[in-house]
Structure 1
Amino acid sequence: MTEQTIAIYCFIDDFFLSIGRKDDTHCRLSDAELLTTALVAARFFYGNLHSACAYMREHHGVQMIDKSGFTRRLHGLREQLMALFLALGQSLRQLNTSSRYQIDSFPVAVCDNIRIARCRLLRGEGYRGMCVSKRRYFYGFRVQLIATEGGLPVAFYIHAGSFADVTALKAMPLDLPEGSCLYADAGYTCYEVEDLLAECDGVELRACRKSNSTRADKPHMAFLKNYYRKRIETTFSGITGLFPKKIHAVTAEGFILKLILFIFAYTLNQVIE
């Protein structure tokens, strides 16, 4: 745990030094220490910031600030947090010599269906989605995730639960290297998107075909699609395994921020190990 904490801090601090970011001289807690604490909370304490702050203070001598100030600064560093993940994702894409990627989504419920009418975090039917694999509805967000062949996340996109996978794919910036193959299930079937990706980005979208598809696959291609797309389910299990029984948040922005921290913490853990 100590070694991973130090590795996370070094990664964040080196990134801030490379972009020329400097802390305010009056700040008792540096930005690198604050983001390290937030990621440690997501990795080891199920997102509990209070426990992570106590650990960083007792075991690493970090001078902590009050909870409200910590939360405000963490929200203010959201862009820097995303820039960190983008830089890490770009490095992982460069190291992925197989050029094979997987895309899929997993739901994150904010509350149970019976409590939708009393939910204060979200409002509207746009957040009600259907989880086909579990044959149940949920109310919350859906996370679109792109991972390498080995299951390392390189990009993600969080949207309302009612959006279909293929709709989210159209809005999601892929930024994959030319010549890449992106494996997906039948929910991402869209011939127009496949043609545009192949023509404009040089990326081949290999979505599993439905029984009535006009572009039916040959047996060997159907086998490859089913084989390569299933590894991402293990990644989903690893990310959701970091979740507490209920993700506590006061605002929708805070809930999304915690989702970002869980995804980032899982990715760093896989890279460090």
Structure 2
Amino acid sequence: MNWTVLVAYCIIDDLLKTLGHRDDPQSKTPASVVLTLWVLAALAFGGKHKHALDYAREQALFSFIPSRSRFSRRLHHLAHWIPLLLPLGKALWERLSSVQHYILDTLPLPVCENIRAPRCRLAPARQYRGYIPSKRSYFHGLKLHLVCTDNRWISEVVLTPGSTADVEGLYLLALDLPRGCELYVDRGYTDYQAEDDLAMAEGIRLRPVRKSNSKRYQQASQWIAVQGRRIIESVGSALSELFPKRIHATTLKGFVLKVWGFIFAHNFRRLAAIL
């Protein structure tokens, strides 16, 4: 685990310098240390920042470890830098490992139990009420739309309210993918217009798992699409292993920050395995 933390610190520090971030001269804890402790919490302690800070003090990972309240304030102050690190990490991964194709899928993120939905404080609106067709059940929270590579690197992420349709997530994603690549999706992303536009404008070939009554259904291509999408199940399982039984947060912004932490913890674990 300490090797993964070291890899995370070195890469985060370099990426922040690339983005032009500068720490305040009076700050005792650099931004790279704050974000590394945030990744450590997601990697080994279910997102619990207090346990990560205590572990860092015991192991003397850094020269100065901030208090829990100070750490929380610094982390929220750095929140707008976090999404900018993901594209840079993707460029680094593509240099270290060859990518054949990409997969797009969604993952439900409940913020509370269904019975508590009417009095939920983190996400009180009805737009956070979503449905999971594969489980035939409802949930109350956010929906994670993620694009990953065939070697299990998460390259793009969008968080939306739970009621957002899967195909809407396709419109919200930047889809900064190499021209001529293939993007595997499931039945929820069926949109012929978007499929044609992506092929014409970006050169991205959409490979959806189509319904049997679809106008573009082809049995041979369905087998390829089903086989290509299997890797997303292992990515979802790897993320679920990092998630605690319930992600604890007092605000929706804090909940989102912890979800981002699990995403980066997964990616840095993949990087540490090949470095």
TM-score of the aligned structures, taking structure 2 as reference length: 0.95
Aligned position for 2:260: 260
- Superposed CA RMSD in Å reads 1.4
Amino acid at match of 2:87: L
Instruction: Say whether the 8 Å CA contact 1:33–1:62 is kept in structure 2.
Output: no
Partner of 1:251: 251
Q: How does 1:194-209 map to 2 (within 5 A)?
A: 194-209=195-210
**Amino acid aligned to 1:30:** P
Aligned partner letter, 1:45: F
Distance in structure 1 (CA, Å) of the matches to 2:117 and 2:224 = 40
**Which position in structure 2 is the counterpart of 1:75?**
76
Shift of 1:98: 4.5
Q: Structure 1's 87 and 139: CA in aligned 2 closer, same or farther, altered over 3 A?
A: same
| Distance in structure 2 (CA, Å) of the matches to 1:205 and 1:153 | 18
Q: Does 1:16 align with 2:27?
A: no
| Identity within the alignment, % | 38
Question: Is contact 1:127–1:162 with CA below 8 Å preserved after alignment?
Answer: yes
> How far 1:114 sits from its partner (Å)?
0.6
Following the alignment from structure 1 to structure 2, what is the Cα–Cα distance between the partners of residues 63 and 96? 35
Equivalent residue for 1:147?
148
- My pick for the range that moved more, 116-125 or 14-23, is 14-23
CA distance in 2, matches of 1:37, 1:27: 16
Alpha-carbon deviations, 1:8-52, whole Å to 9, x = none?
A: 111111222334433212111111111100000000111110111
State the match for 2:236 in structure 1.
Answer: 236
- Equivalent position amino acid for 1:148 in 2: T
Q: State the secondary structure of the residue aligned to 1:107.
A: strand
Give the deviation of 1:93 after TM superposition.
4.1
In 1, distance between residues paired with 2:94 and 2:6? 24
5+ residue gaps, structure 1: none
Change beyond 3 A, Cα 1:58–1:139? same
Structure 1 residues 95-144: Cα deviation after superposition (integer angstroms, max 9, x where no partner): 56443111111101011111111211111110111111111100001101
Report the TM-score when normalising by structure 1.
0.95
Deviations 1:170-196 (A, max 9, x none): 121111110010001111110000011
Q: 1:96 to 1:189 in 2, by over 3 A?
A: farther
Match of 1:34 in 2: 34
Q: Secondary structure at the match of 1:199?
A: helix
Correspondence for 1:90? 91
| 1:98/1:54 CA distance change after superposition, 3 Å | closer
Describe the SS at the equivalent of 1:147. strand
| Residues 45-96 of structure 1 deviation map (CA, whole Å, 9 limit, x = unaligned) | 1111011111112212431222222111101111222222221123334556
- Aligned residue pairs total 272
| 1:107-186 aligned within 5 A | 107-186=108-187
2-structure distance, mates of 1:253, 1:30: 22
C-alpha change, 1:214 and 1:143, in structure 2 (3 Å) is same
Q: 2:242 is paired with a residue of what secondary structure? A: coil
Which blocks of at least 5 consecutive residues in structure 2 are unaligned?
none
Partner of 1:100: 101
Q: Tell whether the 8 Å contact from 1:112 to 1:139 is kept in structure 2 after alignment.
A: yes
CA distance in 1 between partners of 2:186 and 2:106 (Å): 10
SS in 2 for 1:192: helix
Residue aligning to 2:189: 188
Name the stretch that deviates more: 185-194 or 81-90. Answer: 81-90
